[in-house]
Amino acid sequence: MRARWLFVLLAAVVAAAPLAAQRLTFTARKDIVRVDVLVAEAGQPVRGLAVTDFDVFDNGIRQRVELMSAESTPVDAILTFDLSGSVAGDLLGRLKRAGNAVLSALTDREQAALITFSRSILLESALTHDRQRVRDALDSVQSSGDTALIDASYAALVLGESDSGRGVVIVFSDGLDSASWLSAAAVLDTARRTNTVVYAVSTAELPRASFLRDLTTATGGTLFEVDSTNDLDALFVRVLNEFRQRYLLSYSPQDVPPEGSHKIEVRVHSHPGATVKARPGYVR
């Protein structure tokens, strides 16, 4: 198995330190595949499943999986917020409240980071247990400019690969990309190579073929298209809670080619009528 390089973000010691003080470091980890799985019946997550309830197939080959406990894999929530010019006034205020609601809902063992984007991508706060630090960063943001949604999603995906945490990226955007350098295809390829799950909240009515739709599908996440942002904070907390109720399965791929595109299929034989949501595959 090839070694994969991941990294961790170290929180800056001084809250007011400039971004230059935020340092990224790396840890190596074994080549395992993680699959975040949401099992739902009648729209409600099914809880209490055991590893024996799951059948996971990699390129059609059944794999021996482990169920990772929530205790061993605390959540790393990467808030990735569109701060382009159109996110202003009330909408910006609601977005800040929603971000704060997520921060308040995190446990002490969980971490958060804040990335904002317009034309630029800014790491307002690296992953940290210090929620007040993220809160302060969130309170100070302002909006302007275009929307480099694809570029920012790439940065969030890479950040979401940090340490052994369970990365969830919560992307908020009110529109379509208007400024990115990276192509959607390149970032979707990155998404298929990471274990991070992306949830997205869009206030725009997205076309059938859109980057955010593809990104959430590729990572096993969910896209929420909302008409109103009045309850944005409740929606964000719902996203976090839903993510926590997912099952984190892992396996070392057996009897499949080490590289290339792999199709993943997850079944829950104890609940044949349940909806199972997981990333459809991965790329090595």
Partner 1 sequence: MTRRACSLALSCLVVCQLGERLDAVQKDSAAATLRVWLSAVNQHAAGAADAPLIDVGSWPVDQAFATINDFVALVRGRRDAQAKFAKTGRASDISLGGTRYSIAQLNELFGLTETEARQSDVNRPLERAVVFYTDLATFEAIVPRASRGSRIGGPPRIPLILDDGRASLSDGSGADRAVLWGFARVLADEVSPQRDAEIALWYHAVAALLEQTRQWGLAAAHDEQGRKMRPTDPDLVFRLGVVHEFLAGPQAQAARQTLSSSSSIRIAVEPELDELRHAEEAFRATVRLSPDWAEARLHFGHVLGALGHDDEAVAELSRASDTLTNPELRYDLQLCLGRSQAAMGDRAEARASYDRAAAAFPLAETPLLALSELARHAGDGPAAIAALERLLNLPENRPDDPWWTYDTSSSRDADLLMTQALAALGGARRP
Positions that interact with partner 1 (CB under 8 A): 2, 4-7, 18-20, 22-24, 26, 84-86, 119-123, 145-147, 151, 154-155, 158-159, 175-182, 186-187, 189-190, 193, 204-205, 207, 210
Nearer to partner 1, 92 or 121 (CB): 121
Nearer to partner 1, 70 or 158 (CB): 158
Measured in degrees and rounded to the nearest 5, phi and psi for residue 47 equal -110, 165
Nearer to partner 1, 128 or 147 (CB): 147
Least Å distance between CB 19 and partner 1? 6
Task: Say whether 48 sits in a helix, a strand or coil.
Answer: coil
> Residue 60: left if φ>0, alpha if ψ -120 to 50, beta else—which one?
left
Measured in degrees and rounded to the nearest 5, phi and psi for residue 93 equal -60, -40
Q: Which of 189, 159, 183 is CA-nearest to residue 171?
A: 159
Nearer to partner 1, 43 or 207 (CB): 207
For residue 4, give every residue at least 6 positions away whose Cβ sits within 8 Å of its Cβ, in sequence order, or none: 28, 29, 30, 31
Nearer to partner 1, 38 or 210 (CB): 210
Least Å distance between CB 21 and partner 1? 8
For residue 20, give every residue at least 6 positions away whose Cβ sits within 8 Å of its Cβ, in sequence order, or none: none
Give the separation between CA 273 and CA 252, rounded to whole angstroms: 28
Give the separation between CA 212 and CA 206, rounded to whole angstroms: 8
Least Å distance between CB 206 and partner 1? 8
User: Which residue(s) pair with 34 in the sheet?
Assistant: 250
Nearer to partner 1, 120 or 275 (CB): 120
- First CA to last CA distance, the chain: 11
Tokens of 281: 């595959």
Least Å distance between CB 158 and partner 1? 6
Give the separation between CA 236 and CA 234, rounded to whole angstroms: 5
Give the separation between CA 146 and CA 198, rounded to whole angstroms: 22
Least Å distance between CB 280 and partner 1? 20
What's the half-sphere exposure (Cβ side, CA atoms, 13 Å) at 235?
21
Nearer to partner 1, 101 or 179 (CB): 179
Least Å distance between CB 52 and partner 1? 34
Nearer to partner 1, 68 or 155 (CB): 155
Task: Say which amino acid occupies 111.
Answer: Q
Least Å distance between CB 271 and partner 1? 37
